[in-house]
Amino acid sequence: MVLRPHGGEKVRLMVVGRKRLPDAERHERHWGFVEAIADSAKDLEKGLRAQSYGTRTRGERTQPAARPAGEGVYAVTLEDGQMHLSFALELPAKPGEVQKAFRIAPEASYALSIKNPEKGKPVNAGLREEDEADYPRRLQEEFRGRRFAREDVRLLDFEGAEFILIGARSNPEAEYGLDLDTHDEDYQHAEVIRRLRMVKSRHPIKPLFEGRWA
């Protein structure tokens, strides 16, 4: 998923484990990490295109281009000392088969905690040490010796930052008094898709409106 702050240019490309968002109603817990940070959304688009690569046993392979499956608005808030990532979907207007498969709900909130890279990790879990975030001392101190930080969203502004998302609420606007300020959208005016330069010739949009699993 791509997060772009309102009124800002810096964007975060975040990878969520299990290839779907946590179920908010069941309070599922998923691990993830920040794959890329860019100064503008369009700088991420090249990495989302189709790519070909060679393998030893299977020859030339192709990784298909990323396809948009949802767009909306989000907010990162502090609720009783715990960061929460809340969002509301704008596109598609009504979630379909693809959105349900990826747990892209009409509205949801997740508790968001960021892992301390100096506190180790379970065996065979998480990123390799050389791929973990390398925080400057002033930000490393935000962990205060804890395994996770729960208060400072700036810790997500580094490639390799690892995090935990825990499903919290399915109606954050009512629960937390948020106004996520959604608008009726269509593909031609979808802000993030436009800023990412996700043209239909490179990034098929059927999953956004009428995706079906084969």
Question: Model confidence over 158-188: pLDDT tens digits?
Answer: 999 999 999 999 999 999 999 998 888 776 6
Q: How does DSSP assign 64-85, residue by residue?
A: PPP----EEEEEEEEETTEEEE
DSSP track, 143-206 = GTT-SEE-S-GGGGSSTT-EEEEEEEES-HHHHH----------GGG-HHHHHTT--TTTS--H
SS3 assignment, position 2: strand
What does the pLDDT look like over 8-62, one tens digit per residue? 778 999 999 988 999 999 999 999 999 999 988 888 888 888 888 777 787 788 8
Q: Where are the domains of the chain?
A: 2-50+65-209
d(CA 62, CA 45): 17
Q: What is the pLDDT of residues 71-105, one digit of tens each?
A: 899 999 999 999 999 999 998 888 888 899 999 99
Question: What's the pLDDT at 187?
Answer: 64
Strand-pairing partners, residue 114, are: 149, 163
